[in-house]
Chain A
Amino acid sequence: MASMPSSPADPSLPSGAPAAAGADVLQADGVTKQVDGAWLLHPTDLVAGPGECVVVRGPNGTGKTTLLRIVAGLLAPTAGTVTYRGRPVDDRDPATRAALAALVGAPTAYRDLTVTDHLVLVDATWGGDPAGCDARAAEMLESLEIAHLATRFPYELSSGQQQLFHLALFLQRPARVLVLDEPEQRLDPHKRAILTDILSARTESGQTLVIATHDEGLSDALADYVLELAAW
């Protein structure tokens, strides 16, 4: 895996991957975020193609989560643009929702559904064949080694189990681009290794990954490019 140091001193410089070829390119050009004059994210560029993984790193408060929210179309940038396949990214746009999956903060969860019910619901609403929903849900839980949690309600999970449940929900839906904010949070080393294997398999299958992480192991294993955000 290649790791490309960026330029923390001058965030206006292209600091992500070199331009990836092909149509399925996620591209952020000079995106910034300011709220009432305060900078949440300084000008940043990012490019990721199919099967590539860009790892976003940097100290706390440098705008990693803000960048991911912008890249996923959840937050409008103050300046700059984000496009996927040349089309502006905006989570109100069904095309964006179909292409990009984001795990930035805790996702939607219903306190009256069990873990398996959630996976079936996600799968079914994305058009998964109803006849295979149960099997796919079981397979997802097996892959994360949490099959024993299938009939638990979300509030009955520990914090690490909650994170695995959120990852299962996120990975259950189809997407071409996966955006994850510190997916290794609260996971033990074994579960981190499982997560790394799953995400590696996703990039090998052609999915694009954009991940913010403080875990060097995860970063080394997955990163094609590293985008280092600087403290200001």
Chain B
Amino acid sequence: MSDTARMHRVREVLARGGRRGSWQNAAYAVYVAVLFALFWGLPFTQQALRGVDPEPWRAAADGSSPAAVTAWFVGVVGTLAVVAWLLGRVRGPIAPDLSYIDLVVASPLDRALTLRTWWRLARFGSVIVGTLLGLVLTGAMAFIGLAGLGVLAVGAAGGMLAGIAVAWAWLLGQASARGAGRTAYPGGGRAVAHPLRRLTVSALHDQAIASRTMGGAVLMGDLRGARLAAGGRPVRGRALRLRPARAFQVIVRRDLIGLRRNPIRLVAATLTMLAGSALLCLRVGSPEASLWTSLLGAFVASAGLLGAAEGLRLQGDNVGTPPLLGIPPRHEAVAHLALPALLYAGCVTLAGTGLALAGRVSPEAMPWVTALGGIILGQALIGAFRGLAPTPVFSPGVGIPALIAWALAPGLFAWLALLVCVERARGAVQAVAAVATGAATDPASVDAAASAAGSLDAVTGALSLLGALTVGFLGWGFHRQQVQTDAHRG
């Protein structure tokens, strides 16, 4: 009996005479994705495109700059493929459950055959998502008159190609991960060229267990457990040495060496912080910048800084174990905040200076955006010391929405606080700019004096609000740290 025939028998047994569900589920997921794209993606993308400079988009649509469009497309797809490859090294598309791995994948059947369903599903999903994204983007362009309807075909084709590229990168990432086979098995010959045949039972097993642990932890409101299950392990920088220093300094160095051993995290966090702080500088220091820049900037800057706060999260992970370090837990937490704070300040300075030199923003925006980091540091503290979800979240009738609300609440509050502060800072910067303009034209006028008083009020108000929210978030974070540190005493 051939492997294909055996696999057919296996599927029959697994389906127990019923209908196979995977493709039905996939069809339903496509239906939901299409609805989401139509009712949320399209209107939001239109709105976003209305807020940007239309000329480059118009030029791209009318085909007057094919080289630029191609470069943009290759750049975007390349970036997505790299991200997918990295994701695949942690969580790949081939994710059968444990019993299937032990009973079917471990059998002598051709592995490419036993794992083919997951690969097809992943490829199908990636192509559908890519196509929908292409259609949403080009559809929004067509709706607001940036392009004709013909651009839809280009969007669909481009999205489909991007989807295929991302799916392959994802699979290749999984096939090149730790534990996957890198060489041919004895007698394998050219057969192992297919990435599916390079996947080992052990690697699939590890991923399935991590996925199950992660899923269970998320459902239980154990964000720490989920993070630990998802977290990668350092494989670089073994030769680096933690240089001894005084207590506070050595903890900062600990965090630095941790980031150097995880260069992907360091680069991703730095680039994200640069992008986020640039957007925030634009909103605070440029009258033309739309509200979208702060909505996105607050989120991206937070994500970047939180990414660099790994040392703080590790402290949170270790809460409850006998203390080994000779530094009080609160001082340790402060020390763990130092490096993310410095990185954030550096990114704001770099992004703000660049934009100011380009004449896009007023340099006064930089100190404001730097000061916003205090709220994000508070958010990092709260996140590191969340602990388990409170019991009422699991009450009957409350369920998953309450768990999601609990998980998202600190981030959402911090995001809203950042938005409010950005708007107040923007008002203060503009008021000061108006005073400078008024003073230059007629320094002695009554209007100039009134404007100066108004700008002082705006600056004082913004500073007070920012100070209060920063103290509030840091205070909340340190309170969580104290609660978690004491909780294990029972």
Size class of B's contact patch? 35 or more
The residue on B at minimum CB distance from A179 is: B322
Number of A-B residue pairs, CB cutoff 8 Å, is 116
Q: Are B231 and A127 in contact (CB under 8 A)?
A: no
Residues of A81-127 whose CB lies within 8 A of B: 90-92, 94, 97-98, 101-114, 116-117, 120-127
A–B pairs, 21, beta carbons within 8 Å:
A74-B489, A75-B490, A92-B485, A92-B489, A97-B323, A102-B322, A107-B322, A108-B318, A108-B322, A108-B325, A109-B318, A110-B254, A110-B258, A112-B234, A112-B261, A120-B250, A121-B251, A122-B326, A128-B244, A133-B244, A155-B233
**Binary contact readout B237-269 vs A (1 if CB under 8 angstroms, 0 otherwise):** 011011111110011001001100110000000
Among A90, A109, A125, A130, chain B packs the most CB atoms within 10 A around the CB of A125
Q: In the complex, what's the smallest C-beta–C-beta distance from B402 to chain A, in angstroms?
A: 25
Q: How far is the CA of A91 from the CA of B321 in the complex (A)?
A: 11
Q: How far is the CA of A116 from the CA of B489 in the complex (A)?
A: 30
Q: Are A130 and B245 in contact (CB under 8 A)?
A: yes
Q: Are A117 and B257 in contact (CB under 8 A)?
A: yes
Q: How far is the CA of A217 from the CA of B147 in the complex (A)?
A: 84
Residues of B200-248 whose CB lies within 8 A of A: 231, 233-234, 238-239, 241-247
Q: How far is the CA of A124 from the CA of B244 in the complex (A)?
A: 6
Q: Are A76 and B247 in contact (CB under 8 A)?
A: no
Q: Take A105-B322, A111-B233, A112-B262 as given contacts and tell me if A76 and B310 are in contact as well, using a CB distance cutoff of 8 Å.
A: no
| B interface SS class | loop
Choose from B233, B322, B325, B490 the contact partner of A91 (Cβ within 8 Å).
Answer: B322
Any B CB within 8 A of the CB of A225: no
Any A CB within 8 A of the CB of B327: yes
Any A CB within 8 A of the CB of B444: no
The residue on A at minimum CB distance from B319 is: A108
**Binary contact readout B322-334 vs A (1 if CB under 8 angstroms, 0 otherwise):** 1111111000000
Q: In the complex, what's the smallest C-beta–C-beta distance from A74 to chain B, in angstroms?
A: 6
Q: Take A35-B490, A121-B250, A130-B246 as given contacts and tell me if A114 and B324 are in contact as well, using a CB distance cutoff of 8 Å.
A: no
Size class of A's contact patch? 35 or more
Chain A hits for B242, CB < 8 A: 113, 116-117, 120-121
Any B CB within 8 A of the CB of A21: no
Q: Are A107 and B324 in contact (CB under 8 A)?
A: yes
Any A CB within 8 A of the CB of B486: yes
Q: In the complex, what's the smallest C-beta–C-beta distance from B370 to chain A, in angstroms?
A: 27
Any A CB within 8 A of the CB of B16: no
Chain B hits for A76, CB < 8 A: 489-490
Q: Are B238 and A151 in contact (CB under 8 A)?
A: yes
The residue on A at minimum CB distance from B255 is: A112
- 10 tightest A-B CB contacts, nearest first: A126-B326, A133-B244, A130-B244, A117-B242, A112-B258, A102-B322, A124-B250, A108-B318, A125-B325, A125-B326
Q: How far is the CA of A98 from the CA of B247 in the complex (A)?
A: 14
Q: Are B234 and A153 in contact (CB under 8 A)?
A: yes
Q: How far is the CA of A94 from the CA of B242 in the complex (A)?
A: 25
Any A CB within 8 A of the CB of B488: yes
Any B CB within 8 A of the CB of A173: yes
Any B CB within 8 A of the CB of A23: no
Q: In the complex, what's the smallest C-beta–C-beta distance from A70 to chain B, in angstroms?
A: 10
Among A74, A108, A113, A170, chain B packs the most CB atoms within 10 A around the CB of A108
Any A CB within 8 A of the CB of B314: yes
The residue on A at minimum CB distance from B325 is: A125
Q: In the complex, what's the smallest C-beta–C-beta distance from A167 to chain B, in angstroms?
A: 12
Any B CB within 8 A of the CB of A134: yes
Q: Are A107 and B321 in contact (CB under 8 A)?
A: yes
Chain B hits for A105, CB < 8 A: 321-322
Q: Are B247 and A125 in contact (CB under 8 A)?
A: yes
Any B CB within 8 A of the CB of A72: yes
Q: Take A108-B318, A108-B321, A153-B233 as given contacts and tell me if A94 and B328 are in contact as well, using a CB distance cutoff of 8 Å.
A: yes
Any B CB within 8 A of the CB of A169: yes
Q: Take A107-B324, A112-B258, A112-B261 as given contacts and tell me if A124 and B489 are in contact as well, using a CB distance cutoff of 8 Å.
A: no
